[in-house]
Chain A
Amino acid sequence: MFIQLLGQHFVHTALLAGAVVAIISGAIGTFVVTRGASFAVHAISELGFTGAAGALVLGFDVVAGMIVGSLAVGLVLGLLSVRGRERDSAIGAVLSFGLGVGVLFLFLYQGYATEATNLLFGSIVGVSDAQLRNLAIVAFIVAVGLVVLYRPLLFSSVDPDVAAARGVPLHVISVAIFLLLALTTAEAIQVVGVLLVLTLVITPAAAAQRLTVRPGLAILLSIAIALVATEGGILLSLQQPWPTSFFISSISFAFYLCARIVYAVRHDRSRSVRVSVLAGS
């Protein structure tokens, strides 16, 4: 049964779509975690949902609606230069309102409820060839954007004061990264759904940062973890017909737990080494 499924076209499409989304989610996640913008990802995905639900009601393309919704929030968040607590409460206020509007849209929508469920929980195995092509195009845009922005983005994420002094346009970078994040989120929603976007955008990056201090390597590790989680999750759901999102988030979380354990052990050891050096001297 499992082997038979592996030969199916829709499985190949799902695996490819998953890979495309995992690569950009893992890559952008590193910057999101470094900038402390995890909550913003959640906001963008929930308002992507509102956009998608609005598109359902009005009879537009769902993915287009989702991208418009995400981009709108991404733009607003990128323009808001406020930091920390004020930003979080502003995001909280906006996202809950947006979600409320999304609920109304779903209520007004008279079509199949599955569409809505797919939005919330993802539907990777239902990806069509046309969808895969669109996913790949958007992912390409995000990838190119990240490559072009890499150094000033890293600079402004870890060291904004000096970056500004050296002429890095912080506002431009901020808007650009949130727009790329909005595109990535709209992609990830199609795989894991609105509610689980963080499992691809945040968890792999957070795990990777526990494992290495090299910025470049952290990105590669994050991509690798996101890839294993997505592809592993898709394959497991072929074997055991539970929701793919469950498997993806479980694998992703398992990596996170392991990374924390490795980190704790490593630092415990380095601390005891330092203590013994001090004691010896």
Chain B
Amino acid sequence: MTAPVVSVRRLALNFGDRSLWNDLDFELQEGELLAILGPNGTGKTSLLRILLGLLEPSAGSVEVCGRPPRESRTKVGYVPQQRVFDRDLPLRGRDLVRLGLDGHRWGVGRVNHEERARIDRALTEVGAAAYADAPVGRLSGGEQQRLRVAQALVSDPALLLADEPLLSLDLSYQRIITSLFDARRRSAGTPVVFVTHDINPVLSIVDRVLYLAPGSWAIGTPEEVLTSETLTRLYDTEIDVLRVRGRIVVVGTPDDQHVHHIDEVHA
């Protein structure tokens, strides 16, 4: 087996007196797709920030591409939580994607032939070529999200991190975005880590799930982690995991974080 792209060892994170997790251990191989699940306040986004080198863990070590995350930043593609762009922002989709390529470099810079081709390829890959020259602020959430994925892919990253990339997207866009992630890890072997509150739209493509519960965690295939036994152990209270027509419904978590799962069933 080749060296892991991500290696997390005995990681701990505390906010003040509150300990979010301890001794978190996992590795991510090429081509793997990992979903981070769990209720709010369990440090899902914080874990991404640690992988991005934006947050220091309280203990333990992290390596991305064999180096500390801070030194691997330009090798990582990042799709942030949706933040709607100002309607009149003077920025086209193409400009947004370009920033993913060279926005971190000093100077004005010129886009050369090869870079223009890469930007066009990334736009075409996500199916955003048709509105590449429109102002980003006037595009729909789903269109903006496709551009975000193009922005993350344009630098040909060794690792893709995404924070709730499917939030507030309708079903057809959810499918498009997930299939883009799937295609990328298959074609280029880029491992993908994404935070989600709902496993169902991505159940078919996820290799492993990291479930963060208050004070504990579990990692494994969806079949291993998303079971009544595992979640009951994690939450230390009776949890039922039901499988309804290929969907997973979690009942009984203490904080109603999973109401949407029920909604899914109604839909």
Contact B96 A152 (CB under 8 A): no
Asked, given contacts A159-B96, A159-B99, A214-B92, whether A165 binds B106 with beta carbons under 8 Å apart, the answer is: no
Contact A165 B90 (CB under 8 A): no
**Stretch of B8-16, B71-79, B200-208, B236-244 with 4 or more beta carbons under 8 angstroms from chain A:** B71-79
B21-75 residues at the A interface, CB under 8 angstroms: 52-54, 70, 73-74
Residue of B whose beta carbon sits closest to that of A166 = B104
Asked, given contacts A148-B106, A154-B99, whether A162 binds B91 with beta carbons under 8 Å apart, the answer is: no
Residues from chain B with Cβ under 8 Å of A246 in the complex: none
A12 in the interface (beta carbon within 8 A) = no
**B111: min CB distance to chain A, Å:** 11
B89 in the interface (beta carbon within 8 A) = yes
Contact A150 B100 (CB under 8 A): no
**B92: min CB distance to chain A, Å:** 5
Asked, given contacts A165-B52, A215-B90, A215-B95, whether A155 binds B106 with beta carbons under 8 Å apart, the answer is: no
Contact B78 A166 (CB under 8 A): yes
**A153: min CB distance to chain B, Å:** 10
**Stretch of B80-88, B166-174, B213-221 with 4 or more beta carbons under 8 angstroms from chain A:** B80-88
Contact B88 A210 (CB under 8 A): yes
- Docked complex Cα distance between A68 and B251 (Å): 62
Residues from chain B with Cβ under 8 Å of A210 in the complex: 88
Asked, given contacts A209-B88, A213-B92, whether A162 binds B99 with beta carbons under 8 Å apart, the answer is: yes
Residue of A whose beta carbon sits closest to that of B80 = A161
Residues from chain A with Cβ under 8 Å of B148 in the complex: 162
Residues from chain A with Cβ under 8 Å of B52 in the complex: 164-165
- Docked complex Cα distance between A218 and B104 (Å): 21
Asked, given contacts A159-B99, A215-B95, A218-B90, whether A168 binds B104 with beta carbons under 8 Å apart, the answer is: yes
Asked, given contacts A150-B107, A166-B73, whether A158 binds B96 with beta carbons under 8 Å apart, the answer is: yes
A100-151 residues at the B interface, CB under 8 angstroms: 147-151
Count of residues in A whose CB is under 8 Å from the partner chain: 28
Residues from chain A with Cβ under 8 Å of B120 in the complex: none
Contact B89 A34 (CB under 8 A): yes
Name A's interface SS: helix
B91-110 residues at the A interface, CB under 8 angstroms: 91-92, 95-96, 99-100, 102-109
Asked, given contacts A158-B85, A165-B54, whether A151 binds B108 with beta carbons under 8 Å apart, the answer is: yes
**B149: min CB distance to chain A, Å:** 12
A163 in the interface (beta carbon within 8 A) = yes
B145 in the interface (beta carbon within 8 A) = no
**A176: min CB distance to chain B, Å:** 11
A250 in the interface (beta carbon within 8 A) = no
Residue of B whose beta carbon sits closest to that of A168 = B104
A81 in the interface (beta carbon within 8 A) = no
Residues from chain A with Cβ under 8 Å of B196 in the complex: none
Task: Give the interface size bracket for B toward A.
Answer: 35 or more
Contact B90 A213 (CB under 8 A): yes
B102-126 residues at the A interface, CB under 8 angstroms: 102-109
Contact B78 A213 (CB under 8 A): no
- Docked complex Cα distance between A168 and B102 (Å): 11
Residues from chain A with Cβ under 8 Å of B80 in the complex: 161-162, 165
B135 in the interface (beta carbon within 8 A) = yes
Asked, given contacts A165-B73, A166-B73, whether A213 binds B108 with beta carbons under 8 Å apart, the answer is: no
**B69: min CB distance to chain A, Å:** 10
Contact A152 B104 (CB under 8 A): yes
Contact B89 A163 (CB under 8 A): no
Residue of B whose beta carbon sits closest to that of A211 = B90
A167 in the interface (beta carbon within 8 A) = yes
**A197: min CB distance to chain B, Å:** 22
- Docked complex Cα distance between A136 and B92 (Å): 34
- Docked complex Cα distance between A28 and B108 (Å): 14
B7 in the interface (beta carbon within 8 A) = no
A239 in the interface (beta carbon within 8 A) = no
Residues from chain A with Cβ under 8 Å of B134 in the complex: 213
Asked, given contacts A161-B80, A161-B83, A213-B90, whether A166 binds B100 with beta carbons under 8 Å apart, the answer is: yes
A96 in the interface (beta carbon within 8 A) = no
29 pairs from A and B in contact (CB 8 Å cutoff): A34-B89, A147-B108, A148-B107, A150-B109, A151-B99, A151-B102, A151-B106, A152-B104, A152-B105, A158-B96, A158-B99, A159-B96, A159-B99, A161-B78, A161-B83, A162-B148, A163-B99, A163-B104, A165-B54, A165-B78, A165-B80, A165-B161, A208-B90, A209-B90, A210-B88, A213-B90, A213-B92, A213-B135, A214-B95
List 15 additional A-B contacts (Cβ < 8 Å) besides A34-B89, A154-B103: A150-B109, A151-B106, A151-B107, A151-B108, A158-B85, A161-B81, A162-B80, A162-B152, A165-B73, A165-B76, A165-B80, A209-B88, A214-B90, A214-B92, A215-B90
Which residues of B pack against A, CB within 8 Å? 52-54, 70, 73-74, 76, 78, 80-81, 83, 85, 88-92, 95-96, 99-100, 102-109, 134-135, 148, 151-152, 161
Which residues of A pack against B, CB within 8 Å? 30, 34, 147-152, 154-155, 158-159, 161-168, 208-210, 212-215, 218
